[in-house]
Amino acid sequence: MSNTNQWNADKYKKHADFVSNLAFPVVELLNPQANEKILDLGCGDGTLAVEIEKFNAKVIAVDLSESMVQKTKEKGIEAFVMSATDLTFENEFDAIFSNAVLHWVKEDEKAIKKISKSLKANGRFVAEFGGYGNIKFLTDVMEEVFNKHQEFGNFNNPWNFPKDSDYKQLLENNDFKVEYIELIPRPTKIDDISNWLDIFANGIISHLTNEQQVQFKQEIREILKPKIYSEKDGWVADYVRLRLKAYKTV
């Protein structure tokens, strides 16, 4: 059973532009410098790569989605289809930037080793992604609906939301000195829970029939509405972000 998420760049832009819009503090933490070579790891549609290049840095972008890489190339950014655990660079970048990607990577230590290998000595790694407690309401309810319907099979959670202390230890074990790491609760408005599920959870239900997928989303909506919806604010997802800045020590 595959639960690999499929990314539609146009749908993502329409319903999930909050992902890049809320990431400008992470670009500030990166503090790009002129003439630096920077890797945007998990570039999405290239929105943040373009922002980083405004500092006169040279950005190379990678993403696992061909659709996203194509959108990034259309913005004039050099981009490649590549995953965090299969980076092919060595001592190449002054900095590596990653936003809203690494919670999709179960093999987090393997990714950290590849990131370390890709950086120059004293290069910096700046990232933000889902941390411990992120979308707990959503994941609990998805698992609840799967458990209710044996015909759906097992619930395969595609995400990895680490604690700050655990991720700090992983970084330190792999030649990084952590300057800053923090879990940040950030309740996030989304336009509609069905659109969120279409974009971020399509891999979880890709094996279901169309009818079962509709049923899944309807039940999620019914259970979640009293928890994360209000007339005043609409749908607000219970996001928690892990933000960090670390330096390669070798």
Question: What residues contact 91, with CB distance under 8 A and at least 6 apart?
Answer: 117, 118, 119, 120, 121
Contact 246, 177 (CB under 8 A): yes
- Pick the residue with more confidence: 23 or 165? 165
* CATH code of domain 9-135+159-189+241-248: 3.40.50.150
Per the CB < 8 A criterion, the answer to whether 145 and 217 are in contact is no
Alpha-carbon distance of 244 to 127, in angstroms, equals 6
Q: At which residue do the structure tokens 């019914």 appear?
A: 222
Q: What is the pLDDT of residue 118?
A: 98
Q: pTM of the prediction?
A: 0.89
Domain residue spans in the chain? 9-135+159-189+241-248
| pLDDT tens digit sequence for 106-147 | 999 999 999 999 999 999 999 999 999 999 999 999 999 999
pLDDT value, residue 3: 52
* pLDDT tens figures, 214-250: 999 999 999 999 999 999 999 999 999 999 999 999 8
Main-chain phi, psi angles of 185, to 5 degrees: -65, 130
Q: Residue 1: pLDDT above 80?
A: no
Helix (H, G, I), strand (E, B) or coil at 100: coil
What mean pLDDT value characterizes the chain?
91
With H, G, I as helix, E, B as strand and everything else as coil, classify residue 54: coil
